[in-house]
Amino acid sequence: MTQKITPCLWFDGQVEEAINFYTSLFKNSQIKDVSYYGEGAHQPAGSVLAATFVLEGQEFMILNGGPMFKLSEAISLSVSCESQDEVDFFWEKLSGNGGQESACGWLKDKFGLSWQIVPTALTTMLQNKDNKKSWKVMTALMQMKKLDIKTLEQAYNS
């Protein structure tokens, strides 16, 4: 079945590097289709125009559209992580090599794409009907850059 809605990411010249990087990080990933600029285009002939790729079953398009539009925090990709090791892995890989750490589990990768690296345990803690527990977790979360499951659990259980 074809995915009904596919996010399209606009890049300026780093499409090939980005899709190779992203598909190297996620186990269930692949590059599906790649198209290239021809002669007379606003980008060099033979450079990637657009591509379709899959990360963990989610299909994305990526466009080498030029400098007119920039990525921003207005859209981010959220990665659900089952363990602290998984949080650490994605945090280090995505924020490294020129990326930027932000607050509350958010970061920008070296291309400027925003990500949220979120332990699944956090969602469970925040969905608790006890608002005091949820507030304690949120208070702890607001103090962090990379999320730490043990610290969040300690806040939840306090």
What share of the chain has pLDDT > 70, as a percent?
99
Residue-wise pLDDT tens digits, 10-33:
999 899 999 999 999 999 999 999
State the chain's mean pLDDT as an integer: 95
Q: Phi and psi of 121, rounded to 5°? A: -60, -30
Topology given in CATH for the domain delimited by 1-67: 3.30.720
Do the domains spanning 1-67 and 71-158 agree at the CATH topology level?
no
Q: How confident is the model at residue 1 (pLDDT cuts 50, 70, 90)?
A: low
| Sequence spans of domains, the chain | 1-67, 71-158
Q: How far is CA 28 from CA 31, 53, 84, 93, 111, in A?
A: 11, 11, 20, 17, 21
Q: Are 94 and 109 in contact (CB under 8 A)?
A: yes
Round to whole Å and give the CA distance between 24 and 16. 12
Give the CA dihedral 117, 148, 103, 99, nearest 10 degrees.
Answer: -60
Residue-wise pLDDT tens digits, 38-69:
999 888 899 999 999 999 999 999 999 999 99
Contact residues for 48 (Cβ-Cβ < 8 A; gap 6+):
15, 16, 34, 35, 36, 37, 64
Residue-wise pLDDT tens digits, 2-11:
789 999 999 9
Residue 92 has pLDDT above 90, yes or no: yes
Query: Which class does domain 71-158 fall in?
Result: alpha beta
Q: How many CB atoms lie within 10 A of CB 25?
A: 15
Q: In one letter, which amino acid is 136?
A: K
Give the CA dihedral 34, 28, 4, 63, nearest 10 degrees.
Answer: -30
Round to whole Å and give the CA distance between 47 and 15. 9
Q: Are 90 and 115 in contact (CB under 8 A)?
A: yes
